[in-house]
Structure 1
Amino acid sequence: MDEVEVVVAHSERATLRVGDVFLKVDADQARVDAEVEAMALAPVPTPAVLWRRPPVLAIAALPGTTLGRLGGPATGSPAAWAAAGAAIRKLHDAPLPPRPGRAGRGVVALAAELDTECGLLVANDVLPADLVSRNRQVAEAALRPWTPAFTHGDLQIAHLFVDGDEVTGIIDWSEAGQGDALYDLATFTLGHEDRLDDVIAGYGVDVDLDVIRGWWSLRSLLIVRWLMEHGFDAFAPGCEVDVLRARM
């Protein structure tokens, strides 16, 4: 009998692993619909959907390993990181999916959300005012017009798997949809800035590094309080608060 491993769990959703099967429990069926639809449309390897019985989605485990995790050491060769960049580019070049994703929030709404969150971080003594102010300035670079692309929307380093120098698949597509391609690149390299050059080499297109840095700051500012409220440690070495401190 395989043991049940809790991969991640919070008030919005939970993921369990039993042998080679992942069970995703999510009461938001629209989010699950978006995930299944995105995996079917994405031109990159994705997990096989084994069955679906709301609120549970069962998918097969992917072969290979990740290139590391936020707050931990990066692994893999430069060629593996370049292969990740090439896979991300292939996704971004694909025909647009029908719905907007997390990376597709409008600039005006996103700026308003950011300003509100920055105010709360300071008012509640979560982060020093100078740290918040500096990163709010850096984040401004991400608040500009962009051409919609097919984006993953939550492309954390732990969501892409490789075997050697080959990408074997990308998981967790619930935030996928039309969005800013540079958001995906920034999310994937968050906390691993030294690997950005390898990723861009595989991506094959020059990108605006100020926008990447802007997204590092913006994403980190928006998520610190959420992480704390859901039992995660944004202050752990190499995680979101360290990303913000690196901009000082």
Structure 2
Amino acid sequence: MDEIKVVVAHQDRATLRVGDVFLKIDVDQANIDVEVEAMELVPVPTAQVLWRQPPVLALAALRGAPLGKLGGSANPSPAAWAAAGAALRKLHDAPLPRWPGRDLDALVTKLEAECELLVAEDVLPKDLVERNREVAQAALRPWTPAFTHGDLQIDHVFVEGDEVTGILDWSEAAQDDPLFDVATVTLGHEDHLPDLLAGYGDADLDVIRAWWSMRGLLNIRWLIAHGFDPYSPGCEVDVLKARM
């Protein structure tokens, strides 16, 4: 009998691994609905859906290993990063999903509120928040929506050699700014951005940096509340400090 490994767990969702099967449990079935439909639509490799019995979705394990880890190393070759960039370009060039993404006005409001709370609750120094808020402004512009993953963390991209074998966790897929995906997968691994863009193509570097700042400012309080440590070396707080 294979042992059960807890991949991630918090009050909203959990992912367990049993042998070569991943069991995703989500309290909001709309997230699973989006994930399943997105995986059916995207022109990039994803995990095979084995079965679904709400609130559980069973997925087959992917070949290979994650592209890297936030706060850790990113060992694959420049060619593997370029392959990830090419896969991301293929996704962003695909027909849009039927459901919309984030609202720009709501994003502006959320950023204002989070910045105030980060300072008021003494989570981050005021100068660090203000500097990254300034950098983040470059992302707050109208964008042409693309089919985006929405949470393309580096460990959601699996590679074997120089091949992308699959991309995981599609519950936040939507019509959104494609550079948000580019920024998310390179968060904390700025040195690999040129390799990724070698496969992806041209991109506005100021907007990518803006999304790095935005993601940190918006997520740090959530991460702390759910048992994650954004202060770990190479993680969100270090990403914000790099903009100073």
TM-score range, shorter chain: over 0.9
CA-to-partner distance for each residue in 1:7-62, whole Å, 9 max, x for gaps?
00000000000000000011111110000000000100000000000000000000
Q: Does 1:214 align with 2:210?
A: yes
How far apart, in 1, do the equivalents of 2:141 and 2:58 lie? Answer: 38
Q: Which runs of 4+ in 1 moved over 3 A?
A: none
Q: Identify the residue that residue 145 of structure 2 maps to in structure 1.
A: 148
Note the 1:32-71 alignment, pairs <5 A.
Answer: 32-71=32-71
Q: Identify the residue that residue 225 of structure 2 maps to in structure 1.
A: 229
How far apart, in 1, do the equivalents of 2:127 and 2:198 lie? Answer: 34
Secondary structure of the 1:219 match is helix
How far apart, in 2, do the equivalents of 1:214 and 1:193 lie? Answer: 13
Q: Number of paired residues?
A: 244
How far apart, in 1, do the equivalents of 2:26 and 2:67 lie? Answer: 26
Q: Identify the residue that residue 83 of structure 1 maps to in structure 2.
A: 83
Q: Identify the residue that residue 129 of structure 2 maps to in structure 1.
A: 132
How far apart, in 1, do the equivalents of 2:50 and 2:223 lie? Answer: 30
How far apart, in 2, do the equivalents of 1:74 and 1:22 lie? Answer: 23
Give the superposed CA RMSD. Answer: 0.5
Q: Does 1:111 align with 2:108?
A: yes
The alpha carbon displacement at 1:74 in A equals: 1.2
Secondary structure of the 2:223 match is helix
CA-to-partner distance for each residue in 1:198-236, whole Å, 9 max, x for gaps?
1011002x1110000000000110000000000000000
CA-to-partner distance for each residue in 1:45-97, whole Å, 9 max, x for gaps?
00000000000000000000112100001111000000000000000000001
Secondary structure of the 1:73 match is coil
The alpha carbon displacement at 1:155 in A equals: 0.3
How far apart, in 2, do the equivalents of 1:54 and 1:72 lie? Answer: 34
How far apart, in 2, do the equivalents of 1:223 and 1:27 lie? Answer: 20
How far apart, in 2, do the equivalents of 1:222 and 1:93 lie? Answer: 27
Q: Identify the residue that residue 29 of structure 1 maps to in structure 2.
A: 29
How far apart, in 2, do the equivalents of 1:13 and 1:140 lie? Answer: 31
Secondary structure of the 2:63 match is coil
Secondary structure of the 1:5 match is strand
Q: Identify the residue that residue 180 of structure 1 maps to in structure 2.
A: 177
User: What TM-score comes out, normalization by structure 2 length?
Assistant: 0.99
How far apart, in 2, do the equivalents of 1:87 and 1:18 lie? Answer: 28
